């Protein structure tokens, strides 16, 4: 293929990636080392009490932002190095908590509490999504041809639902006098408050993520099952291999590249967990790294946003994703180098 032809095909994609991915990423990276603050001035403001003969006036200094000719607040940007990262990580408090083996003190720091939940959420849901996705794929692959279409459609329904809508649906089933909460209260003969403690909220989040994402893994694995060598399976059956042996030594090795692919996608997606935090309104009990970045961007009482800390939190989140992906990327690279050309 000539270079001009190759550039004609690849050029638009490269341009859009540079424009919408690389450029914002560079901006976030640079923003994490800068702090933008409004320029303020102190002015004397005189306040007088009502009255004529007994009127009393006091003068006080008030700090207010300086406005430009268009009425916008004037800001100034300065380089602060790692200050924003230090404010997010709070290494002093974190080290004291680790040294004293004080888990509760460590969880009082927003970043470490968000990191704890994000890692737990990612690493727990990963094997469950792969396991349930593979189980559904094997079941659908062996179902009668006459009902295979409806079964596939029903299996894909959780993945079709919009994430926030799905999370809200699960929340409505359990919150307050929800249908499932009422049923559990009748069965256990006791009152339940599933949204009053963190661990029950986390369980529902884990359940929802697996329920929502397992169909994606099912689609990938089901497609891979259609390419399994039938002669190899028949040979294994003739040799007396059990169903478990065929799954372990024939099917799973054949699907291993797809398993790695699903793991890569799931790690990148679940480490950025955000919809569940919003849908379950869990901010008072459970937060994630992605939600922490969003929270930094919310205006405070003065209308200011912590852009620098939000940028630092976003960069730390990206670093965490890269660290989690390294083992899978190394395996993919080894498989690629070892593949026959």
Most confident of 27-41, 126-140, 296-310: 126-140
For the chain, the C-alpha Rg in angstroms (whole number) is 28
pLDDT at 52: 63
3-state secondary structure of 322: helix
139 with 159: CB under 8 angstroms?
Answer: no
Those residues whose C-beta lies under 8 Å from the C-beta of residue 122, and which sit 6 or more positions away, are 266, 267, 270, 271, 273, 324
Q: How far is CA 126 from CA 82, 256, 261, 307, in A?
A: 33, 15, 12, 32
E-only strand ranges, the chain: 34-38, 40-48, 57-65, 75-79
Domain formed by 99-338, architecture: Orthogonal Bundle (1.10)
Of 86, 90, 91, 73, nearest to 33 (Cα)? 86
317 with 289: CB under 8 angstroms?
Answer: yes
pLDDT at 292: 92
Q: What are 303-317's pLDDT values in tens digits?
A: 678 889 999 999 999
Q: What are 31-51's pLDDT values in tens digits?
A: 899 888 777 777 878 777 776
Q: What are 144-182's pLDDT values in tens digits?
A: 888 888 888 888 888 888 787 888 888 888 877 778 888
Those residues whose C-beta lies under 8 Å from the C-beta of residue 156, and which sit 6 or more positions away, are 215, 218, 219
pLDDT, mean of residues 215-226: 92
Most confident of 120-129, 240-249, 296-305: 120-129
pLDDT, mean of residues 322-336: 85
Q: How far is CA 132 from CA 86, 128, 151, in A?
A: 40, 6, 15
DSSP secondary structure string for all residues of 2-50 = -HHHHHHHHHHHHHHHIIIIIHHHHHHHHHTTEEEEE-EEEEEEEEE-S
Those residues whose C-beta lies under 8 Å from the C-beta of residue 286, and which sit 6 or more positions away, are 117, 198, 201, 202, 205, 277
Q: How many residues does the chain have?
A: 341
Q: Are strands 57-65 and 40-48 parallel, antiparallel or unpaired?
A: antiparallel
């Amino acid at each position: 293929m000539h270079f001009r032809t190759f550039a004609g095909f690849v050029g638009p994609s490269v341009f859009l990636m540079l424009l919408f991915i690389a450029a914002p990423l560079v901006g976030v990276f640079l923003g994490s080392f800068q702090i933008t603050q409004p320029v303020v001035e102190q002015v004397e403001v005189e306040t007088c009490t009502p009255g004529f003969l007994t009127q009393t006036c006091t003068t006080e200094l008030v700090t207010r932002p300086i406005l430009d000719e268009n009425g916008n607040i004037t800001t100034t940007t300065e380089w602060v190095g790692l200050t924003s990262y230090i404010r997010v990580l709070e290494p002093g408090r974190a080290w004291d908590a680790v040294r004293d083996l004080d888990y509760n003190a460590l969880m009082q720091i927003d970043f470490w509490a968000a990191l704890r939940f994000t890692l737990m959420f990612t690493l727990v849901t990963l094997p469950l999504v792969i396991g349930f996705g593979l189980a559904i794929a094997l079941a659908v692959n062996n179902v009668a041809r006459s009902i295979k279409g409806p079964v596939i459609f029903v299996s894909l329904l959780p993945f079709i639902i919009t994430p926030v809508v799905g999370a809200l649906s699960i929340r409505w089933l359990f919150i307050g006098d929800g249908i499932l909460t009422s049923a559990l209260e009748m069965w256990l003969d006791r009152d339940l408050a599933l949204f009053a403690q963190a661990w029950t909220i986390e369980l529902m989040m884990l359940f929802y993520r697996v329920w929502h994402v397992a169909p994606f893994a099912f689609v990938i694995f089901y497609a891979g099952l259609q390419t399994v060598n039938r002669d190899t399976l028949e040979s294994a059956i003739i040799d007396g291999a059990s169903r478990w042996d065929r799954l372990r030594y024939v099917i799973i090795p054949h699907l291993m590249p797809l398993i790695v692919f699903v793991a890569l996608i799931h790690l990148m997606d679940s480490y950025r967990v955000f919809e569940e935090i919003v849908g379950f309104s869990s901010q008072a009990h459970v937060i994630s790294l992605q939600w922490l970045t969003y929270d930094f961007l919310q205006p405070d009482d003065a209308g200011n946003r912590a852009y620098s800390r939000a940028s630092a939190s976003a960069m730390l989140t990206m670093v965490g994703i890269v660290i989690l992906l390294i083992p899978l990327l190394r395996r993919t690279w080894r498989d690629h180098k070892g593949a026959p050309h």
